[in-house]
Amino acid sequence: MTIPAEAQEAIKRFGISIEDYMLPVHGQIQILSEDGTMLPEDRRGSSPGHQYPVPTDRELLEAYRRLVIGRRVNDQNSALVRQGRLAVYPSSHGQEACQVAAALCLRDGDWMFPTYRDSVAVMSRGVDPVETMTLFRGDWHGGYDPHAHHVGIQSTPLTTQLLHAVGVAHAAKLRGQDTVVLAMCGDGATSEGDFHEALNFAAVFHLPVVFFVQNNQYAISVPLAHQSVAPSLAHKAVGYGMAGERVDGNDIVALLAVLDRAVTLARSGSGPLLVEANTYRMQAHTNADDATRYRNEAEVQAWALKDPLNRMRHYLRSTGALTDDVETDFAGDAEDIAQQLRDGLGVDPALDPGDLFRHVFTEPTPQLREQAALLADELSRDEDSRDAQSRKDH
């Protein structure tokens, strides 16, 4: 196994073997208990080479503010679907801690490649809320400029974004840029061939990629037990020659600590890493899904007790960092975003059918030109027919 020199030095400082460095901890990293109390160090799941400092209260307070916004965004978007203003919405209700931590662990120059369920992460990265949701209204391509915030378009095809992430990381390395790429996916994505290709390429070329797997227990209706019998999804990392780690995906304190170190290691030249966050999709896969057909209410309620928002609120209240006034301010910030979504998605967009062809290739192919001409001709004839009917009516 070829390990980069930087990683070998880090392993030496930890005083552990290469295998112990690469294999995830037994169990998972968890810092906050389910009731929001800080766990003692000997109960956090850490081991030599896998210790994580607790972020400051200031960092945690900002993370909580974004959690509040994320929950409000999920609720508002679900309502907009019911109102017919969105075609579909894959809610991340219950997974907001993963979403917020993903955005906070990156610098401005780093890249994020999200999935279709990562709208809250995209907004937390700074993308306009209405532009983020344009994709789910179905009116214009991806909805936002990926280069403006270094955020790839939310990927609906499963796992294709991992290959894009690896390509950007490879380009950055060739250019000598100080860039880390966060490649997000779910547990179902780990069953895809693109997952293997992305991890293998990233490991072979020692690329600065953090693969962030949000294991929400189901690939639509297929439970994890029917996808893999590995001890954990994080254990898959060692087979590619990279380190893996497991973390409580509903504990934003642990998520911030683990992802921050993963990004720091990747930036230092240690190669790619894989982080598996154990979380749960509280709502249906999308508004078109009936989750009651493949999971029971007792399971859902058991996970409700692990809610990341409540856990963080209880901890910050106990430290005195979160007061009634601060809570009110955060709720106001969240409602401002919800209002933006209502206002922006309540306006009918002005659509140009020609946009279907303009942004596919830099230089349109003959087939695209032919298709565009056929559509333009059909639209012109429809307009002539309407004009003729209007003159007849008058």
- Among candidate residues 285, 311, 313, 315, the one labeled active-site is 285
Rounded distance, CA 95 to CA 218, Å? 13
- The closest alpha carbon to 161, from 209, 101, 227, belongs to 209
- The closest alpha carbon to 11, from 200, 276, 3, belongs to 3
User: Sign (positive/negative) of CA torsion 264, 267, 272, 276?
Assistant: positive
- Among candidate residues 82, 294, 358, 381, the one labeled active-site is 294
- The closest alpha carbon to 209, from 247, 172, 248, belongs to 172
- Among candidate residues 281, 311, 313, 315, the one labeled active-site is 281
> Under a CB-based contact definition with an 8 Å cutoff, are residues 203 and 166 in contact?
no
- Number of CB atoms found within 10 A of residue 81's CB: 17
Q: Counting beta carbons within 10 angstroms of the beta carbon of residue 325, is it exposed (0 to 12), middle (13 to 18) or buried (19 or more)?
A: exposed
CA distances, 247 to each of 44, 101, 382, 387 (Å): 10, 12, 58, 63
* Residue in the structure block whose two tokens are 């939310």: 154
281 assigned to active site: yes
Q: Would you please indicate which residues are annotated as catalytic (active-site) residues?
A: 281, 285, 294
